[in-house]
Amino acid sequence: MNKDMKTKYKPPQHSRRKALQLVLGSSTALLTFGCGISTADQSNAVNAPSILDNLQVDANQLIQRVIPSSGEKLPVVGLGTWQTFDVGNDRQARKRLIEVLTVLQKMGGKMIDSSPMYGSSEKVVGDLCQQLGLRKELFMATKVWTSGQQAGKQQMNQSIQKMQAKSMDLMQVHNLVDVDTHLKTLRAWKAQGKIRYLGVTHYTTGAYPQLMRLIKSESLDFVQFNYNMKVREAEKRLLPLAKEKGVAVIINRPYAGGSLFRVTRGKPLPEWTKEYDINSWGQYFLKYMLGHPAVNCVIPGTSKPKHMRDNMGAAYGKLPDEKGRKKMLTYLESL
């Protein structure tokens, strides 16, 4: 786990696969807060909800990849907030999301990705992370989604305030909206220390040519785009180019909008997936992408603690090599 994590982890006393099964096993155990939160914070945490317990993971097995522009390491699984965190002041929904964030942190995850496009998500992220005392533990990412220099600055300042970040870890131009204008601002803000990293995003394959142009012509720290076992166009040129140019890659839509689960519903995992420490179809899909060396982080969204725990399980154990990835793809296509 990252050295600045507050949670102490007990060393595993089992084999790698057994340890992972303990991490990803029964969801019935409950926990009263134990992740560096004060008694006062607990009393304010929506009646101190129960959190999944026994998340004892081996810090040495957490898979992290280096951000090329800085050398900083980032865990390979994070959390997207589109729709799932757009809950406003709904206390019950926030209670579940507190559990999601706690599981993310306890299992070593860091990146949380949001946007002003996502309704109340930025404010909910900021409120809950402040409530839990997690801001310093996490890697906060959001976006600018408007046109015009002044409008962009205003929106980004509002996002920083909503997410309660003195400086934003990563600011991205959402869906390339007025991208050239905003990149000028982001370069200046990075130099001033207002943001740590800058990047661009999109969620459709039709935007790949423009993303490639920007990777070639701009000094980007991150690029975010869609990629999954169903939509693999990025493997042809976009992923290799990002690797070549030293741009970190964030993957959105890793489950193809949930359609991958419809293909595998009711079907057991093949026995050979044990070789890659895969315990669910979700991990099967994530580890396929993480097996590509250009991918730095995948950000599946969820509002359910058990899904957050399962997603984070893909950040542990062995990843498939290219031969293994081809085997995984062939099997999926046979279903």
Q: Are 290 and 321 in contact (CB under 8 A)?
A: no
User: What is the CA 253 to chain-centroid distance, rounded?
Assistant: 11
- Note the pLDDT of residue 20: 46
Dihedral through CA 156, CA 239, CA 73, CA 7, nearest 10? 80
The answer to whether the beta carbons of residues 293 and 71 sit under 8 Å apart is no
The CA-based angle 248-207-245, given to 5 degrees, is 30
Three-state helix/strand/coil letters over the chain: CCCCCCCCCCCCCCCHHHHHHHHCCCCCCEECCCCCCCHHHHHHCCCCCCEECCCCCCHHHCCEEECCCCCCEEECECEECCCCCCCCCCHHHHHHHHHHHHHHHHCCCCEEECCHHHCCHHHHHHHHHHHHCCHHHCEEEEEECCCCHHHHHHHHHHHHHHCCCCCEEEEEEHHHCCHHHHHHHHHHHHHHCCEEEEEEECCCHHHHHHHHHHHHHCCCCEEEEECCCCCCHHHCCHHHHHHHHCCEEEEECCCHHHHHHHHHCCCCCCHHHHHHCCCCHHHHHHHHHHCCCCEEEECCECCCHHHHHHHHHCCCCCCCCHHHHHHHHHHHHHC
- pLDDT 10s digit of each residue in the chain, 335 long? 333 333 333 333 334 444 444 444 433 333 333 333 322 232 333 333 444 555 566 767 899 999 999 999 999 999 999 999 999 999 999 999 999 999 999 999 999 999 999 999 999 999 999 999 998 899 999 999 999 999 999 999 999 999 999 899 999 999 999 999 999 999 999 999 999 999 999 999 999 999 999 999 999 999 999 999 999 999 999 999 999 999 999 999 999 999 999 999 999 999 999 999 999 999 999 999 999 999 999 999 999 999 999 999 999 999 999 999 999 999 999 99
By the 10 Å C-beta count (0-12 exposed, 13-18 middle, 19+ buried), 223 is classed as: buried
How does 232-253 read in b/e, with b if 16+ C-beta sit within 10 Å?
A: eebeeebbebbbeeebbbbbbb
Q: Residue 32: what pLDDT?
A: 30
Indicate the CATH number for domain 65-334.
3.20.20.100
pLDDT value of position 166: 86
pLDDT at site 15: 40
| pLDDT confidence of residue 55 | 56
Altogether, the residues listed in the chain come to a count of: 335
Q: Which residues pair with 172 in a beta bridge?
A: 143, 199
Both structure tokens of 85: 């965190």
**DSSP-assigned beta bridge partners for residue 142:** 171
